[in-house]
Amino acid sequence: MKWNESLADKARSLIFGEKKYTQFTLEEKKIVDFYQQRKLEEDAVILPNTHAALEQAEIEQMLLKRYKLQ
Domain extent listing, the chain: 5-69
Q: Is the pLDDT of residue 2 over 90?
A: no
pLDDT tops 80 at residue 70? no
Confidence label for 16 from pLDDT (cuts 50, 70 and 90): very high
| Type of residue numbered 66 | R
Looking at the predicted structure, is the pLDDT value of residue 21 above 90? yes
Query: pTM value?
Result: 0.83
Q: Is 64 left (phi over 0), alpha (psi -120 to 50) or beta?
A: alpha
Which amino acid would we find at residue 36? Q
Cβ–Cβ under 8 Å, residues 45 and 37 = no
Q: How high does pLDDT run on average in the chain?
A: 94
- The pLDDT value given to residue 9: 97
